[in-house]
Amino acid sequence: MSRIEAKKPSLCTDKPLTKDVVSFSLSVLSGIVKSCYGPTGRLKQLHNGMGGYVRITSQSSALLGGLSVTHPVLNLLTASVKNHISRFSDCGLFTAILCCSLVENFQRINFESSTVTKISRHLLSSCIDYLKSEACGCRLSVDFDSIKTLLSLVRSILASKPACMLNKTEASYISTLILKAFLLTIPHSVETNVVLGKCVIVPVKDKRVMESAVYPGLLIEIPVFQLASIFPVKRVSSSTIKMALFCISLSGDLSNIGDGPVIVHHGISLEVAVLDQLLNLGKQLVNDQVGLVVCQKVIHPSLKQYLKEHRVITIDRVGLSMVEPLSQMTGSQPIAALHSLSPTCYGSLKDLRTENFVSKHFWHLIPNDILVCSLILCNRNEMAWDELKHVCQTAEHVLQLTIKQPLALLGGGCTETHLASYIKHKSSTLSTGILKAIDCSQTQYQLVADAFCRSLECVACCLEHDDGEILTDMVYGHFWSVQSGFPSDCNWSDLVLKCGCGIYNNQRNLNWTVLQRQCIPFIPQSCSNRPSVNATDHLVLDCFTAKCSGLQVAVETANLILDLSYIVEDQN
Amino acid sequence: MASAASLDLGRLVQEAEALAGAVRGALGPRGGQVLLTRPTGETLLTRDGRRVLEALNLDSPTARMMVACVSLHHHMTGDGAKTFIILLSKLLRGLQEILDKREGSPFCEAIQRRGRYQKHHCLKQISQSLMTFQTHILDQITAEDLRKHFFSAFSSLEGEISRHTMESILEAYFCGRIGNSHQKLLSQLSCDFYYRCVHFKNGRNEMLNLVNDYFVELHFAVPGLPVSNSRILEGLVLHRDFGVYCPADGDIRMLIVTESIHSDLSASDLEFVVNAEVQYQASQVWFTKRTETIMKHLQSNNIKVLLSSVKQQEIVIYYAKISGISVVECLSSEEISLLCKTTGISPFVPTWDNVRCEITETMVAKFCRPIVLGSKRYVHLGLTRTCAFQPHCVIFCGPVHGVTEQHASAFQGAFKMLQQLFKAVDLSDKCAAQPENPNNTSEAVHCSLQYSSQQKLKMENNSCNGEKINNQQLKTFPAETEKQFVDSYSWVDENPSCSQTYLQKSSNLVMPIVKLKNDFMFSALIDRGHTLRELQKFKYPSEMGIKNKSEPVVNNHRICNDAMTAIENTSTSVVSKHLNTTKDYWNPGNPIIPFKYEKSYNHTIQSYTSSVIQAGSVLPVGGNFEMLLHYYLHSYAKKCLQPKITVVSTVIADALLSIPKILHRTTKKNSFTQVYFKATSALQINNQLHMNQQGLESVYCKYQLVASVLHCVTKLLTIDLIIAIRRLPQKTEDNDSEGDL
């Protein structure tokens, strides 16, 4: 009672965006996220200064999770990016950078927020309409007949996370593994309700990346003391092993007694009674020709011994997270009863082997229908392993999203520049009817559209961290970068090699110009009518769903921030 | 030692103005958003005046009282918190100016003579005049002058609302509540939701009540997705995942259980004695068998889904899976009661006895499948409708939690506002305030009767039991009146003693208060209404004429007298007459076209009802209500003979103008002075206001707002001393809020 204190009055701020502290902290945040973006992004070391866990990263999820933002406006921004990451795993930095630069650019034109909101909303909807339309010039449809596009997608994700410390061969090896693991989780027979399997990542640290591997089925570690007593499994037929999966404890403890008192007469041991039941259960399992017993919790040593004598292999303490994939891949139902087992709840395995991996030993459960696979992931040190694991999960998520919507966007800044030139063209040919509906003038619309395009191009510019020059062409509206230190008198066409996404090589008459310089609006041409698109190796691609949503979230958040007229901070 | 301070009007004004300053920026369609941070670090976006004011954590007791008044008002109407506080601050400022002038003010005659203590006396006088104003003049002006400007939201005669009207009402509402980029989307969404949920128009109120009560269960927030992904889903989504999911097709029978199916050896009131090990084993087996039997029984009854409010044991899950029954566990009690309400079933109690009989308490769903919202999996039930509410739920998406929460609360507020829209204001309030007038008693009786008869007519209550009713009617009147007063007082928040005395009077007139027998009574009335209808038309032609000349006061007295005599004669003529008039109102002969200024249409509303505000009355947004009230208050003040009332009316009229002033603060085309000039000159020339705004708002909400503000000022001004006491702050806070309620 003595801890009750009177509430402190809240702190109020009027017109928060005009305050210096907001624009300063916004520029700090945007500086951090901008410098992390892309394959050449700079790494950040996160530590608490007191000997805690140190992390080196350039990933948005780790970065924003680690930053403690105090100002509510920034809090709003980071919260919305974090929410985006939790839904899509990818494109977090893109969203954060776009949002920051939209706020900065819109503030600079200094219109009333409702006008800016209306126009930017219209711009956003025309962007999304364009991206979702067939005519979109910066997207590819993913061809599942060949793995090239999928592989490019995975490789682009790996390449954009330099903190994994992978070299080129390692990166391509890991991307192949990720893709392989993903393909294993797709069910063979497709019904109406498709449920993807699971890829379990098994950590092995302090090893070379090239020793990573994918195994179909599950890997369950064997404790060292059990290694001595391994015997071949009992099979029903040459390719079938019957297995039982228990989700209750088989340790012989007295469960389900209830809340009330239980009176036990002298000389009666309930433990013996339960153990008796357990041994009866063992008898039934042996009779039913079960070869493998897996238990989520603990198995009583006597039961273990009994089963061992009858050549039944036992694996216990597998944990709750393993029960679902186990039941999924073997078709067995988690058993919760100690007696009168129904024969329908047993599952089957194709094979059971032991695998040695460096110093660790695993049971390898191989199912008939492979839905679950294990990815043994190695990396040199703890920090790089963490980063790599995150990338694998991101890549898996992106592949799942791509299956749902088989489209990919051009990466390497090309989508941003292409979209910017599309919007420039669109806003220059705007009908008066639309202007009337938005209730703004042509000049207002043009200014907001320019700010919007500048922000998009700014995201593309963040890919270059080494003072290089960034160009765009006037035909496709793609992104081209030139390394710094070029002679001032030479032609652009002598310097550029490939566009950002790698789809176009240096061609004549592409008419380059420096990005963000004023130029005449043009209709950017589409890349999809090129026959050789899928033949090209090493494209840089981005996840369509994640990027579309990131774009929308960034614009919506920027609008929210601009619309703030008052802040009330609770000081308690 | 407790410290006491006398109430200072100047301080009140300052506080109210500071509060108004916090919300002023968020008022109206061009208002901005307010960002709130919670002690937990969570950020919340809002344009809701109540949220902002409550988040301020104020120190001053009077300011807290103002905030409490705002909260109370907002809680009832779902709207108007910002307008409330702005109006309040202007009103207090106006009153202070009167006090400062001193000379010539009717309230301040005695001040010079008796010093500081009299200053409070002066405040007291003001507060009394405000009270008089609120109870007498506000209703009168609304009834006499304002009413002819109202539109009806109902497009057809049966009380249906056209989609277009609904959209403009909702759009106007969301304009003031959420960020301007999503107003269109959300008003479309809520409009869709309304039309998809309401199955037939008579179930409207029931549906709105259900949506308001169970809104938490009916909506989902998914942060991290763009707002445009917000949508309406058919059926209900439970806030849980399946414990077991077994896909099933066709009509799915479902069952609700509220206790564990598997029972343990002992319970808290039962002890279990173990005599032998075999006995222990056997009983374990028996319990397992029992669970198995129950689950098999469910399976044989073709039950596919088990909805449980408690966590079931693993063994139940195991047998459910074997029997092909999906299980959803740990449902909240609200979800269970929502399910029971929409389907009309009660939970199933599994016992050893009913294992043999057939299970009847089941509901049927078209589908039952998992649905992924955000990153979590939930249960999606396609229930078939059994009540007025067609089950649907809303999913709000937004980049951050703050946005989805804002949208959800605005959405709920919109449904609260719709609830208000379908309410009417009766003249009975006015009568209640004048218990000394003998005529009023009967008038009130008549009003309440008419009000409820209208209601009942809409409900189409057809249970008929005609004969005995004549004698019971009189007895029912007082009971009805009482109910009426409870209704009307619950929102005006008036001094209850007033209604008490009145009630006594009415019960003196017609003897004992018996149980309500509405159903019998009104069904009888409907019958009589039919038979006497033709007759009545000829019987009261003169009165109709008077009504059409729009002199409601005279008209009302006439009705009162009629009602009086009618009651004395224990005849039903009055009742049927009023039924008659309501019938006429709904008569297809009078085309009602909203949005068009047709005289005939206005007169239909005005002449055939005796209520101040008809259910479903709307006005275009943009401060029109305030300007109209301002205009009529001024003209009333000119005519009024009592100097105190004149002063008070002028102050209120001027304070009202502050709302349109803020609403039109930035537009270049329609600056406030232009709008105001246009409106007043139009009113002077032809008594009509030309309104071209798109949105509509409920008059009932506006009327209530003015009444609540006046009431709040009255309450503030009657305080004499503010005494700080030393107790736990939590306690004093409680006391505060109790005082406010």
Look up residue A227 and give its DSSP letter. G
CATH 3.30.260 boundaries in chain A: 143-217+376-405
Q: How, if at all, do strands A347-349 and A241-246 pair?
A: antiparallel
Interface of A with B in 304-333 (CB under 8 A): 333
At residue A32, the pLDDT reads 93
Q: Is B670 helix (H, G, I), strand (E, B) or coil?
A: coil
- Nearest CB neighbour to A76, from listed B35, B57, B728: B35
Residue A440 confidence class, pLDDT cut points 50, 70, 90: confident
Res B578 pLDDT > 50: no
Query: Could you tell me which residue, B510 or A309, shows the higher pLDDT?
Result: A309
Residue B119 confidence class, pLDDT cut points 50, 70, 90: low
Neighbours of B226 (CB within 10 A): 22
Are B30 and A269 within 8 A, CB to CB?
A: no
At residue B3, the pLDDT reads 67
- CA distance to partner chain A, nearest, from residue B692 (Å): 17
Query: Can you give the C-alpha Rg of chain A in angstroms?
Result: 30
CATH 1.10.560.10 boundaries in chain A: 11-138+410-569
Residues of chain B contacting A7 with CB distance shorter than 8 Å: 57, 729
- Nearest CB neighbour to B729, from listed A6, A14, A86: A6
**Topology classification of domain A218-369:** GroEL (3.50.7)
Res B487 pLDDT > 70: no
Are A564 and B729 within 8 A, CB to CB?
A: no
A15-72 confidence digits (pLDDT tens): 888 888 899 999 999 999 999 999 999 999 988 888 878 888 989 999 998 888 888 8
Interface of A with B in 402-461 (CB under 8 A): none
Residues of chain B contacting A340 with CB distance shorter than 8 Å: 285, 288-289, 292
CA distance A19 to B22: 17
At residue B610, the pLDDT reads 52
CA distance B470 to B524: 9
Res B25 pLDDT > 60: yes
| Segment among A309-323, B62-76, B255-269, B608-622 with least mean pLDDT | B608-622
One-letter identity of residue B680: T
At residue B55, the pLDDT reads 85
Residues of chain B contacting A70 with CB distance shorter than 8 Å: none
Are A53 and A59 contacting, i.e. CB atoms less than 8 angstroms apart?
no
Interface of B with A in 713-732 (CB under 8 A): 728-730
What is the arithmetic mean of pLDDT over B25-30?
74
At residue B435, the pLDDT reads 38
Query: Could you tell me which residue, B645 or B479, shows the higher pLDDT?
Result: B645
Res B463 pLDDT > 50: no
CA distance B496 to B493: 8
Q: Which residues contact B641 (CB under 8 A, 6 or more apart)?
A: none
Chain B interface disruption, residue of A566, A567, A571, A572, most B CBs within 10 A: A566
At residue B730, the pLDDT reads 53
| Segment among A295-299, B58-62, B156-160 with least mean pLDDT | B156-160
Q: Which long-range contacts (CB under 8 A, 24 or more apart) does B552-558 make?
A: B552/B143, B552/B144, B552/B606, B552/B610, B553/B140, B553/B144, B555/B610, B556/B427, B556/B443, B556/B610, B557/B439, B557/B443
What are the C-alpha distances in Å from B359 to residues B244, B302, B362?
21, 10, 7
At residue B177, the pLDDT reads 84
B59 inside 8 A of chain A by CB: yes
Are B315 and A334 within 8 A, CB to CB?
A: no
What is the arithmetic mean of pLDDT over B224-234?
91
Q: Which residue has the tokens 């930053």?
A: A67
Residues of chain A contacting B35 with CB distance shorter than 8 Å: 16, 72-73, 76, 564, 566-568
Are A7 and B401 within 8 A, CB to CB?
A: no
Query: Pick from B363, B493, B641, B476: which is nearest to B68 by CA?
Result: B493
Residues of chain B contacting A112 with CB distance shorter than 8 Å: 30, 666
Tell me how long chain A is. 572
**Starting from the edge strand earliest in sequence, which strands make up the sheet with A347-349, in order?**
A313-315, A292-295, A241-246, A347-349
CA distance B304 to B313: 18
At residue A192, the pLDDT reads 67
At residue B557, the pLDDT reads 43
Tell me how long chain B is. 741
Res B167 pLDDT > 50: yes
Are A117 and B315 within 8 A, CB to CB?
A: no
Query: Could you tell me which residue, B544 or A540, shows the higher pLDDT?
Result: A540
Residue B559 confidence class, pLDDT cut points 50, 70, 90: very low
Q: Which residues contact B542 (CB under 8 A, 6 or more apart)?
A: none
Are B57 and A7 within 8 A, CB to CB?
A: yes
Query: Pick from B20, B45, B19, B18: which is nearest to B34 by CA?
Result: B45
Residue A569 pairs in a beta bridge with A11, B37
Q: Which CATH architecture has domain A11-138+410-569?
A: Orthogonal Bundle (1.10)
What are the C-alpha distances in Å from A435 to residues A117, A119, A438, A444, B646?
14, 9, 5, 10, 49
In angstroms, the first-to-last Cα distance of chain A is: 18
Res B88 pLDDT > 80: yes
3-state secondary structure B699-726: HHHHHHHHHHHHHHHHHHHCCCEEEECC
Environment class of A266 (CB within 10 Å of its CB; exposed 0-12, middle 13-18, buried 19+) = exposed
Q: Which residue has the tokens 């950017």?
A: A524
Query: Pick from B347, B256, B269, B344: which is nearest to B307 by CA?
Result: B256
Are B58 and A9 contacting, i.e. CB atoms less than 8 angstroms apart?
yes
At residue B538, the pLDDT reads 36
At residue A244, the pLDDT reads 94
At residue A283, the pLDDT reads 93
At residue B515, the pLDDT reads 35
Alpha helices in B493-642 (DSSP H): 496-509, 518-539, 541-548, 552-568, 573-585, 599-607, 624-639
| Segment among A281-290, A445-454, A528-537 with least mean pLDDT | A528-537
Res B59 pLDDT > 50: yes
- CA distance to partner chain B, nearest, from residue A493 (Å): 41
Q: Is B163 left (phi over 0), alpha (psi -120 to 50) or beta?
A: alpha
Q: Is B4 helix (H, G, I), strand (E, B) or coil?
A: strand
H or E element: which one contains B723?
strand B721-724
A553 inside 8 A of chain B by CB: yes
Residue B572 confidence class, pLDDT cut points 50, 70, 90: very low
B620 inside 8 A of chain A by CB: no
Query: Pick from A64, A62, A154, A54: which is nearest to A381 by CA?
Result: A54
Query: Pick from A451, A424, A444: which is nearest to A108 by CA?
Result: A451
What is the arithmetic mean of pLDDT over A280-300?
93
| Structural tokens at position B26 | 């968020």
Residue B669 confidence class, pLDDT cut points 50, 70, 90: low
What is the arithmetic mean of pLDDT over B427-453?
39
Q: Which residue has the tokens 């708002």?
A: B697
CA distance B300 to B302: 5
Are B190 and B170 contacting, i.e. CB atoms less than 8 angstroms apart?
yes
B588-634 confidence digits (pLDDT tens): 333 333 333 333 333 333 334 456 677 778 888 877 888 888 888 88
- CA distance to partner chain A, nearest, from residue B260 (Å): 12
What is the arithmetic mean of pLDDT over B5-19?
83
What is the arithmetic mean of pLDDT over B40-56?
84
**Starting from the edge strand earliest in sequence, which strands make up the sheet with A541-543, in order?**
A139-141, A407-410, A541-543
| Structural tokens at position B539 | 């019987």
- CA distance to partner chain A, nearest, from residue B58 (Å): 5
- CA distance to partner chain A, nearest, from residue B381 (Å): 17
Res B281 pLDDT > 70: yes
At residue B159, the pLDDT reads 67
Percent of chain B residues topping a pLDDT of 90: 10
Chain B interface disruption, residue of A129, A276, A448, A570, most B CBs within 10 A: A570
Task: Tell me the pLDDT of chain B averaged across its residues.
Answer: 71
- CA distance to partner chain A, nearest, from residue B173 (Å): 17
Res A478 pLDDT > 60: yes
A191-205 confidence digits (pLDDT tens): 666 778 889 998 887
B280 inside 8 A of chain A by CB: yes
Residue B109 confidence class, pLDDT cut points 50, 70, 90: low
Res A254 pLDDT > 90: no
Residue B257 pairs in a beta bridge with B308, B348
**Topology classification of domain A143-217+376-405:** GROEL; domain 2 (3.30.260)
At residue A509, the pLDDT reads 75
H or E element: which one contains B365?
strand B363-373
| Structural tokens at position A468 | 């290089």
Q: Is A366 left (phi over 0), alpha (psi -120 to 50) or beta?
A: beta
At residue B545, the pLDDT reads 35
A315-340 confidence digits (pLDDT tens): 999 999 899 899 988 988 899 888 77
What is the arithmetic mean of pLDDT over A463-492?
85
Environment class of A339 (CB within 10 Å of its CB; exposed 0-12, middle 13-18, buried 19+) = middle
B316-363 confidence digits (pLDDT tens): 999 998 888 999 999 999 999 998 888 888 888 877 666 667 777 888
| Structural tokens at position A289 | 């020709």
Res A475 pLDDT > 50: yes
At residue B95, the pLDDT reads 85
CA distance B183 to B171: 7
Nearest CA in chain A to B375: A87
Instruction: Please provide residue B183's backbone torsions phi and psi, each rounded to the nearest 5 degrees.
Output: -60, -45
Prediction ipTM score: 0.89
Chain B interface disruption, residue of A126, A568, A569, most B CBs within 10 A: A568
Q: Which residues contact B166 (CB under 8 A, 6 or more apart)?
A: B153, B191, B194, B195
Interface of B with A in 378-407 (CB under 8 A): 398-403
Q: Is A351 helix (H, G, I), strand (E, B) or coil?
A: strand
At residue B426, the pLDDT reads 65
Query: Could you tell me which residue, A228 or B313, shows the higher pLDDT?
Result: B313
| Structural tokens at position B570 | 């224990």
- Nearest CB neighbour to A79, from listed B59, B313, B400: B400
CATH 3.50.7.10 boundaries in chain A: 218-369
Res B36 pLDDT > 70: yes
Q: What share of chain B is helix, strand, coil (3-state, %, to 5)?
A: 60, 15, 30
Residue B237 pairs in a beta bridge with B380
Q: Is A249 helix (H, G, I), strand (E, B) or coil?
A: coil
Residue B273 pairs in a beta bridge with A263
CA distance B224 to B227: 9
- Nearest CB neighbour to B226, from listed A16, A344, A556: A556
At residue B472, the pLDDT reads 41
